[in-house]
Amino acid sequence: MRDLSIWNVGPRRHVARLTVEDTQLRPPQYYKELLHGVHDIEQVMVEVYACPGSETTQS
């Protein structure tokens, strides 16, 4: 994970922005599902990048 930001947008309401660097690129939905059980997060935005030097490309 390169960066994680969580904002409070109201009583018991949060949004999250996650920037991931991975050698095995997966679609953003994969990472969103990992946070599915976290209470009070209403929206998750995900950016996925290849690790520097890896042969994969950005999703």
Q: Is residue 58 part of a domain?
A: no
Determine the structural domain holding residue 14 and report its residue range.
3-50
Q: Is residue 18 part of a domain?
A: yes
CA angle 8, 51, 56 (to 5 degrees): 115
Q: Is residue 55 part of a domain?
A: no
**What is residue 59's predicted lDDT score, i.e. its pLDDT?**
45
Check: CB of residue 31 under 8 Å from CB of residue 21. no
Q: Is residue 56 part of a domain?
A: no
What does the pLDDT profile of the chain (59 residues) look like in tens digits?
Answer: 899 999 999 998 999 999 999 998 899 999 999 888 887 888 999 999 998 877 654 44
Q: Is residue 29 part of a domain?
A: yes
How many domains are contained in the chain? 1
